[in-house]
Every structure is written in structure tokens, then in C-alpha cells.
């Protein structure tokens, strides 16, 4: 069973979002997603300053087998990305998807979008259904 921390918000396409104390939001892919993708070998994150829209393709994660788009859970400007760590060690997304394997941070332009994200319980249902 994959881990689904209760303090995070999720998209049904398997991204997570964590609201930090300064109001910025850190984004990554879920434990379930990294497990389904397998060993990651390449991660492409959005450049700082890029404007993202909710649900738009923001990053790409590639395992040995395939490439997958990562969608932004929120609209906003990219204020940081984890390319320093992930360009050398993309496997951090496998080993620590909610920690060192984070992908990028945004400054949300519309904080009401947060309300439309799934909580851990709802996301757990998505994962269960994907398993059947």
C-alpha cells in the first residue's frame, strides 16, 4: 500500500500539493505515481518565473519505460524548482516522493483553487479504484 500523507492535497492525476507557512505551494508526485512509473531516470521541471495554469502540463517525469506529464494542481508563478537535486539524482522521486523528491514551488495566483483539490481520503479512493 502506498503512502498518502494526510496533510497534503492531491490531484486525481497523482500530483500532491503542500501549502507552506508563507502561502507558497510545493508540488510533487505521489508515492503511488512513483511506484507505478518505476525507476525514474529523468525529470524536467518548469523554469522559475514560468506562469502555470491549474491542470496544465508543468513537468515531465521519465522512468526507464516511459515519459509522463505532471500537471500543476494550481495556477501561479513558479518560484523555485528542484532541478539541482533531480538532474543528478532523479531517483529521489522514487525514494522520497513527499520530501527530497519535490518538483517545483508556485506562488498561487488564485488561492480558491486549493478548495477544489482532493484531500487524502478522497485521493486514497482514486488510488484504490486505479488498482482494480
Partner 1 sequence: MGFKTPLYETHVAAGARMVDFGGWDMPVHYGSQIEEHHAVRRDAGMFDVSHMLIADVSGARARDYLRYLLANDVAKLKDPGKALYSCMLNERGGVVDDLITYFGDAEHFRVVVNAGTRDKDTAWLKRWAESFKVDIQPRTDLAMVAVQGPNARAKAAKVIGTSAAAVLGMKPFFSKQLDRHFVATTGYTGEDGWEIILPATEIAAFWAALRDAGVQQCGLGARDTLRLEAGMNLYGNDMDENLTPLESGITWTVAFDPPERDFIGRAALEAQRKAGVPRKLVGLVLEDRGVLRSHQKVVVPGVGEGEMTSGTFSPTLERSIGFARVPAATGEQVQVDIRGKLLAARVVKYPFVRNGKALI
Count the Cβ atoms, other than its own, within 10 Å of residue 109: 14
**Residue 28's Cα: distance from chain center in Å?**
2
**Helix, strand or coil, per DSSP, at residue 112:** helix
Q: Shortest approach of partner 1 to residue 18 CB, angstroms?
A: 27
Return the number of the residue (65 or 121) whose C-beta is nearest partner 1: 65
**Residue ranges that bind partner 1, judged by CB under 8 A:** 38-39, 41-42, 44, 60, 62-67, 87
**Which residue, 8 or 45, is less far from partner 1 as judged by CB?**
45
Q: How far apart are the first and last CA of the chain?
A: 14
Considering the complex, what minimum distance in angstroms separates the CB of residue 44 from partner 1?
8
3-state secondary structure of 58: strand
Cβ of residue 85: shortest distance to partner 1, in angstroms? 15
Amino acid at each position: 500500500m502506498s503512502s498518502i500523507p494526510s496533510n497534503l492535497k492531491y490531484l486525481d492525476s497523482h500530483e500532491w500539493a503542500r501549502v507552506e507557512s508563507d502561502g507558497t505551494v510545493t508540488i510533487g508526485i505521489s508515492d503511488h505515481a512513483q511506484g507505478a512509473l518505476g525507476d525514474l531516470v529523468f525529470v524536467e521541471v518548469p523554469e522559475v518565473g514560468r506562469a502555470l495554469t491549474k491542470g496544465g502540463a508543468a513537468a515531465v517525469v521519465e522512468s526507464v519505460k516511459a515519459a509522463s506529464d505532471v500537471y500543476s494542481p494550481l495556477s501561479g508563478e513558479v518560484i523555485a524548482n528542484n532541478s539541482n537535486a533531480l538532474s543528478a539524482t532523479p531517483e529521489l522521486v522514487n525514494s522520497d516522493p513527499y520530501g527530497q523528491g519535490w518538483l517545483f514551488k508556485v506562488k498561487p495566483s488564485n488561492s480558491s483553487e486549493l478548495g477544489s483539490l482532493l484531500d487524502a481520503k478522497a485521493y486514497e479512493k482514486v488510488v484504490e479504484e486505479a488498482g482494480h
